[in-house]
């Protein structure tokens, strides 16, 4: 256990909250090349230049049929959809590409007061539109530890030291 600002923090273990944030910008990386059947697609991972065959999971087809979400979020993964209970899920979880299966999503959420102003992904990247937070991140870029667990806890301490709250 690590103590950050006198609060005990357990090592940050990833548990997916099915919030969809990790996949909101994957539409530029996960591309549908062709529809091959009612719920089957020939796709490619642009970042790895790897083709894959996607099949929409049977239990998620009713969500996939709703095309309002991809129209409202054109940069999101084309297989991301909201459910009736507020979650945002991958509709091809069973056939998703390898890069999706090993991806570590949001490991640190950063708040100013009660408002979330950014988050750090499992790769150590900051996602934020807040210019002050982005500047602070750029200042620390050369100090960031390379080990995943050490890095996640380091980010939490760093941003809390600068007046932000983290989870």
Q: Per residue in 119-165, pLDDT tens?
A: 887 777 888 889 999 999 999 877 887 766 688 888 889 999 999 99
d(CA 80, CA 117): 23
Report the residue count for the chain: 167
Q: Per residue in 10-38, pLDDT tens?
A: 344 456 678 887 788 777 789 999 999 99
Q: Map out the domains of the chain as residue ranges.
A: 2-14+105-166, 21-102
Rounded alpha-carbon distances, angstroms, from residue 44 to 27, 41, 49, 81, 116: 11, 10, 7, 19, 32
pLDDT tier at 72 (50, 70, 90 boundaries)? very high
Q: 8 is written with which tokens?
A: 């005990």
Query: Is the entire prediction scored with pTM above 0.75?
Result: no
């Amino acid at each position: 256990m690590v103590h950050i600002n006198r609060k005990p923090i357990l090592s940050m273990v990833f548990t997916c909250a099915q919030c969809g944030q990790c996949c909101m910008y994957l539409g530029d990386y996960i591309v549908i090349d062709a529809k091959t059947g009612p719920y089957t697609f020939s796709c490619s991972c642009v970042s790895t230049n790897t083709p894959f065959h996607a099949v929409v999971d049977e239990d998620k087809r009713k969500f996939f049929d709703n095309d309002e979400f991809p129209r409202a979020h054109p940069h999101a993964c084309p297989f991301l959809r909201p459910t009736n209970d507020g979650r945002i899920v991958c509709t091809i979880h069973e056939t998703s590409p390898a890069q999706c299966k090993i991806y570590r999503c949001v490991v640190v959420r950063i708040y100013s007061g009660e408002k979330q102003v950014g988050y750090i992904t499992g790769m150590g990247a900051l996602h934020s539109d807040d210019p002050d937070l982005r500047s602070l991140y750029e200042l620390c870029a050369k100090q960031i530890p390379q080990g995943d667990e050490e890095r996640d806890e380091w980010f939490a301490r760093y941003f809390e030291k600068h007046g932000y709250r983290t989870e």
